[in-house]
Structure 1
Amino acid sequence: MQETENSQLSPNDTPPGIAPWAVYILHLGSLFIGLTAVIGVIVAYMQRRDAAAWVQSHYQFQINTFWIGLLIFAVAIITMPLYGLGFLLGVFLTIWLLVRCIYGMRQLNAREPIPDPETWLFGWSRSG
């Protein structure tokens, strides 16, 4: 009976577990304590292989969020003395991170994959 029920589940009916939620929360926590993003990306790398395909898209999105965010953060630090450019990049980084994490959690809650996990922007796909 259990096998029949499991075979009728669509891939998106597979529960994501706690790890992808934790990674999004750790990324958000990095706005206050940067080390949490490092912990989050390690968790994403460790969990990605064994996850359902739709959850793997979230892990890829989270991994990209870490690396792109780290790059923007480094550029912001380097350009800090240039008439506030670094500050503006920091504001952009904060908004970018918030949007990516909120969108990712929304998709995760709906048990939907990230349509474009490789994007540098926000992950949703263009329709039409």
Structure 2
Amino acid sequence: MTETHDFSAREDRTLPAVVYALYIVGLTHGLTIIIGLIMAYACRNTAGPIMYSHYTFQIRTFWLSIGLFLVGAAIAFWGGIFSLILVGLPFLWLGLTICGLTWAWFLVRSILGVIALAREEPYPRPYAWMF
């Protein structure tokens, strides 16, 4: 008689949950986001398919937010410089708005990831830009 095991029934959700928590807490200061990114990279290759999708989603969320934030910061920087002659004020506000929306986008993506993790589901579209 052969014995079969269902190894894919449940995957450990602890570390992806820790990464999501580090991401959300890091929105106040940034340091724990870096720690969460390192953890996601370290754990992704040994994870099962469900948790792999979460780690991929977390890594992409970080890099996409960095890109968006840098665009907003650059626009705000140059807008700040040119605001001395009042031409740059709209660009300053645009850059700050982009940075604020990036912060909110990062938060929403992290919360949606937590919801999918709590349901023990893979993240549906880990490579998508939006949600």
TM over 0.5, shorter chain: yes
From 11, 26, 35, the equivalent of 1:39 is 35
- 2:113 aligned residue: 104
The structure with the larger Rg is 2
- Structure 2: distance between partners of 1:8 and 1:74: 45
**Helix, strand or coil for the counterpart of 2:109?**
helix
Root mean square deviation, CA, Å: 1.5
Q: Which runs of 5+ in 1 are unaligned?
A: 123-128
- Structure 1: distance between partners of 2:11 and 2:116: 13
Structure with the larger helix share? 2
Q: Which runs of 5+ in 2 are unaligned?
A: 80-90
**Helix, strand or coil for the counterpart of 1:84?**
helix
Amino acid at match of 2:127: E
4+ residue segments displaced more than 3 Å: none
* Alignment deviations for residues 17-68 of structure 1 (CA, whole Å, 9 cap, x no partner): 3210111111112211112111111100000111111100000000000100
- Structure 2: distance between partners of 1:72 and 1:28: 17
Q: How many pairs does the alignment contain?
A: 116
Q: Percent identity?
A: 37
71-80 or 58-67: which moved more?
71-80
89-98 or 109-118: which moved more?
89-98
